[in-house]
Each structure stands twice: as C-alpha cells, then as structure tokens.
Amino acid sequence: MQVVNTVQDLKKWVQSTTQSGRSIGLVPTMGFLHEGHMALVEAAKAENDVVAMSIFVNPAQFGPNEDFDRYPRDFERDSMLAEKAGVDIIFAPSVKEMYPHDSQITMSAGMLANVLCGKSRPGHFDGVLKVVTKLFHLVQPNAAYFGQKDAQQLAIIESLVRDFNFSLKIRRVETVREQDGLAKSSRNVYLSNAERREAPELYRSLQRGVKDAREGQDPIPEMIRLIESETSGTIDYIELLSYPDLQQEPKEQAILALAVQFQKARLIDNIIFNLKEN
Amino acid sequence: MQVVNTVQDLKKWVQSTTQSGRSIGLVPTMGFLHEGHMALVEAAKAENDVVAMSIFVNPAQFGPNEDFDRYPRDFERDSMLAEKAGVDIIFAPSVKEMYPHDSQITMSAGMLANVLCGKSRPGHFDGVLKVVTKLFHLVQPNAAYFGQKDAQQLAIIESLVRDFNFSLKIRRVETVREQDGLAKSSRNVYLSNAERREAPELYRSLQRGVKDAREGQDPIPEMIRLIESETSGTIDYIELLSYPDLQQEPKEQAILALAVQFQKARLIDNIIFNLKEN
C-alpha cells in the first residue's frame, strides 16, 4: 500500500492507474477508522480494480465552535487497518495541501442543508461539498463509497453528482453497528461508560419509530419519550423526511433520523425505509 | 463534424475519444459565432487532437431583466462556421437537457463577483460557474479556451480550476477586434449605425488609460471625459484592478476594464497589462 501526502504524488498515481485502464474506487474518510469504514472499503474492492482512501479532517466542514482540533486522529493505526483491508493507496494531505490559497468560490447545499444536521451545523455541508468536489477531481474515481449513517451527507452528494454531471457513481453502504445496535462512529470514544450503555436506545427508538410511522402514526412523540426516559442525552432533532430529497411529509421512501447530544459526543443515526412496506 | 444534443450522446463521444488517447480542447460558447470564437477554436486545434464546441445560451447566467430570450441565436450559421474552422463536435443541448432537475446546490464567486460586470449582474458569475463546471465534467477536456474580452469570467474560471483541483488547463485567448479596434461581440449587432461609429472610442480610451496608468496617473477621469464626449453611451463602470485576483490598487499585473451601455447593447472591453512595463 502506498501513502501519498501531496496532490502531485496523487496525480502521478491516478494518471498511471487510469492509463492502465484500472477502475478506481474512492473511500473518503476523516480517519480514525472503524468497521464502518472497512465496510466501505469492502464494497469498493468488490466493484473496482483498485481502492483509494482519503484521510483528511476537513476544516471547512467544522464550525468555529465544533471539534476540529479535538477530532480524533491516529494515522499509524489507520494505515495499518487500511492496508489489512486491502486499500491500495492512502491520500493523506495536509490542510495547506488541500487549501493552499484563500479561495473566494464557494458551494452551497441550499435548502438540502436546512433540515437534520444542517440546521445546527451552518456551513457544514458547504464544506463537505467543497472537499468532496476536490477529492473527486483529484482521484477521478469510477465510484465513491459513503455510509448511510451520514444520510444527509449522502443525499447532498448524490444531488451534487447528478446536478453537476460528475462522471462517477455514488454507492450507499449500510450503517455498521455494534452488537447492541449502536451505530459505529469515530465519536463513540467520547462516550462515558454510562452513556455508552444508554446509547443503543437511539437505534431502538428509531426501530420503534419506523414501526409507528408505517402504521400511520406520528412516530416522534414516543421516540422523544423513550430517549428522554432511557438516556441522559439531549435530543437535537428527530425528523421524518422523504429520501433522498429531504422534504416534509414523505409518501414512500423516507428517512427517520435523529441526533442526540451527550456530554462530549453528539451521536446521529437513521433508518431509510419505505413507508408502504412492512 | 458531429452535432449532439444530449448528454448521453456526448458521453459516448467523450468515452471513445479519451479511450483512444486523443486530447480534447473545449471551446464553450453561447453561439452566434464571430471571429473571437474562431480564434478560440484555432488555439484549441493547435494544442489538441480534437476540438469540442459547446453552444448553449445558459439561462442561469442571465438576470431576470437581462436579454436571455433576446440573445441572438443562429444554429445553422454557427454549425457551418464551426465545421469550416475544424471543430470536431458541437454539443448543443436544450435547457431541459442541461437542467433536468430543480437543483438546490449552487456555486458562488464570492468577492470576485463584487467588481466590474459582477456589480451590475448579480448572480451572473454564479450561473457561469455552474454551467462551466457541468461542461468540464461532461466533456472532460485537457484544456478549455476563453477569450480575454470576458476578463472577469476568465479570472473567476481560473480560480475555479485552481481551487477545486480540476484536471484541465485554462487558456486565455486575446480579444479579436474589428479594423477600427472595436472588440468583436455577438451583441455588436444591436448597435445602431451611429453607435457603431462611436463604439471604437471604448478601446481608444482604454489605450489612453493604460498609458496614463503607467505614468502614475489615475486614468479614469480622462477616460470618462473621452467616452462621454465621443459617444452616446452611458458608462456602467471603468475600473483599474489587479489581475487575476481583481483587487483594488494593483501593483504590477493589472486590468483596465469598462462597460458602456448603448441603446440596445451593453459593450465591455479591457486591456490586461503590466503597470511597470512600457
């Protein structure tokens, strides 16, 4: 496995790879890898000749009061895990390498950012759009792999690729969970022991909510009750929207999603489902 | 020469062209071709194996009170001229083909749009950024060719390519002029005979301004005097900025640019020059 830190070295690899006709699967990450990322690598390996993983904690998608500096990083462990999983190249640029100039040109997710996590993270998805566009241009993948856990990110990136005619495919990979149902996340390490025991209630409440929604009930009051009685976290949002266009009052394909703030970790989870199926 | 109207047909051509290792030069236009466009084609032919020209009057870059409906179109004449000039393929999509969905995601030129034409055309360059990004993704050119006449557009597209890591080169092609100095433009057809006789004063005043600026004088008052006394047009702006970053108080590379509104045509022109050279 190669590790490259500069745009120039990455471009050399991309050029020789595409010239030899090999297809590239891209797994964009912020590092601190867990099984969720490994599921993305696995999906990318199954569909492509080679797999590129980017590891870049993107400052443009963190707000001024968010955890950019504190976001967990462990490159040595990451590169070991990536190599074991069969990644062919890691692109791990510095912030300076990705943003060498003051840049005036911005992208905006518009109304797609006015729901779910976007409401409490102004500018977050604009930063995601910028870095993802840059990575797509740099790596020139045939397909890129994203986890369903970040469902709003996935929906926005699918819109990006469609509306701006990128020539790659976006693959949605199911959320990987702990045995007790908690969605894997780099931020889970910040849970206290007590919070860690409570956290599976998030997924249980989502499952209950899906059942209620399919029976024609508003699922949200009961979910609020469950989370408030069974956890010490504070609900940031619980929303039921259409998927992937993220509009109110879904008819068929829907997403039920939540974010809950614990002391040092804000956890998100969701289920994407069809309201008409059981 | 091929003419394709759909994204699907264009993609087939792009795929077979790139697979055979041929380099693509892209000349993006809004049609109603004149010698300025032909100079772009010539530059593209000199540097690439094949030349693609897009002809698309992009509604996203016209304001609600601008001349989208009235913008001159003559596809038959355009395709004759393009074929004669050696264009290999024309991509002439419908508006529906380029914008099949309501799109939430937007691009913004930020402060680069707060000077020159951007001031009086809010949103114009955002629309340019969107269509240019789409065309770059669709055509996958090795280089794209733009006229210096639209200098602000050129500066913004150069920033776009740099800041978003597009893998193509942007080539600046000098403004083509009539014998009397008037910059060629699709909008020149809207000048009355009297206005057409006055219009070369725009370039003459720019030349005078460059001379004055190099001698350390503020060139603008004399340019205003010249244009107001020699033409019936109304000055929209005359600005002296750094190039390509379009900041006030240039030190070396500079652009002196103007826009003048005549009865049915708004004309623009500029000179890019070094303040320290004569």
pLDDT tens-digit profile, chain A (278 residues): 999 999 999 999 999 999 999 999 999 999 999 999 999 999 999 999 999 999 999 999 999 888 899 888 999 999 999 999 999 999 999 999 999 988 899 999 999 999 999 998 999 999 999 999 999 999 999 999 999 999 999 999 999 999 999 999 999 999 999 999 999 998 899 999 999 999 999 999 999 999 999 999 999 999 999 999 999 999 999 999 999 889 999 999 999 999 999 999 999 999 999 999 87
Count of structural domains, chain B: 2
Q: For the segment B124-135, what is each residue's pLDDT rounded down to a tens digit? A: 999 999 999 999
Give yes or no: residues A82 and A191 share one domain: no
B contacts of A104 (beta carbons < 8 Å): 109-112, 159, 163
Per the document, the length of chain A is: 278
Query: Does B111 appear as a known binding residue?
Result: no
Q: What is the pLDDT of residue A60?
A: 93
Distance from CA of A155 to the nearest CA of B (A): 12
What gap in Å lies between CA B66 and CA B121, rounded to an integer? 9
Domain of B109: which CATH number? 3.40.50.620
Choose the catalytic residue: A37, A101, A124, A137.
A37
Give yes or no: residues B66 and B31 share one domain: yes
Q: Which positions of B are annotated as active-site residues?
A: 37
Instruction: Establish, for the pair of chains A and B, how many residue pairs have beta carbons separated by less than 8 Å.
Output: 78
What gap in Å lies between CA A166 and CA B25, rounded to an integer? 19
- Answer yes or no: is A203 within a domain: yes
Q: Note whether A167 contacts B: Cβ–Cβ < 8 A.
A: yes
Chain A CA closest to residue B125: A105
Reading the block at residue B200, the tokens are 């070369």
Task: Give SS3 for B94.
Answer: coil
Q: Note whether A221 contacts B: Cβ–Cβ < 8 A.
A: no
Q: For the segment A212-233, what is each residue's pLDDT rounded down to a tens digit? A: 999 999 999 999 999 999 999 9
Domain membership of residue A79 as a residue range: 2-173
Reading the block at residue B194, the tokens are 């009297």
Reading the block at residue A121, the tokens are 């993270």
Q: Note whether A106 contacts B: Cβ–Cβ < 8 A.
A: yes
A contacts of B6 (beta carbons < 8 Å): none
pLDDT tops 80 at residue B28: yes
Give yes or no: residues A21 and A87 share one domain: yes
What gap in Å lies between CA B160 and CA B132, rounded to an integer? 9
Which of B152, B173, B194 delimits the end of a domain?
A: B173
B contacts of A156 (beta carbons < 8 Å): 105
Give yes or no: residues A158 and A60 share one domain: yes
pLDDT above 90 covers what percent of chain B? 92
Q: What is the pLDDT of residue B132?
A: 98
Give yes or no: residues B64 and B167 share one domain: yes
Is A37 considered catalytic here?
yes
Give yes or no: residues B60 and B197 share one domain: no
Global ipTM: 0.90
Give yes or no: residues A138 and A207 share one domain: no
Q: Do A167 and B130 touch (CB under 8 A)?
A: no
Q: Could you tell me where the beta strands, DSSP code E, fall in B75-217?
A: 89-91, 106-108, 143-147, 169-173
Q: Across all residues in chain A, what is the average pLDDT?
A: 96
Give yes or no: residues A203 and A115 share one domain: no
